[in-house]
Amino acid sequence: LILNINAMAIFFTRDNFVLAFPLLAVCSTYAFFKFIPLQYGLPVLGVIALTLKARNKIIESRSTDEHIDKTIVQDLVSDEDALIAKQNEKAQKKLRKSEQKLRERLKAERRNTANKKKEAADEDDDGEIITAFAKGARGKKGR
């Protein structure tokens, strides 16, 4: 006989379990004390209660340890992040300084080349004036 689990889901739902839980608890408690003598049943219940309490304390202590570990890790990581950020800032400052020096050097070179061109143009003008003067004197004699 093979039962389809989906077909059984009609009867075993969470809503049905919530409604039936009080009746199940009362019946289970009655059956426990009816069929198990008190001299064995009470110590078993005590052991179960202590086990659950100890388990809850262990879970609680682990969760606080994890929380403490997480905060310690975050503190350490934030310190490392701060150091990395400082290093990045220093590297950016060096990069900006080198770029600024490069720009200044290029501006100075442009000024120098512009000044040299002006001086060369002035020298060429002087040379043209002198050659025109020299030609002019020869050309007048030939006429």
The token pair that represents 3 in the structure block: 């039962």
Q: Could you say which residues of the chain have pLDDT below 50?
A: 1, 143
Q: What pLDDT is recorded for position 143?
A: 46
Distances (CA, A) of 102 to 43, 114, 140: 87, 18, 56
* Residue 47 near residue 39, CB atoms below 8 Å: no
Residue the block writes with tokens 């969760």: 63
Number of separate helices (H) and strands (E) present in the chain: 3, 0
**What pLDDT digit, counting tens, does each position of 70-97 carry?**
777 777 778 888 888 899 999 999 999 9
- pLDDT tens column, 104-115: 999 998 888 888
Q: What is the pTM of this model?
A: 0.34
**Distance, CA of 67 to CA of 24 (rounded, Å):** 38
pLDDT score of 33: 87
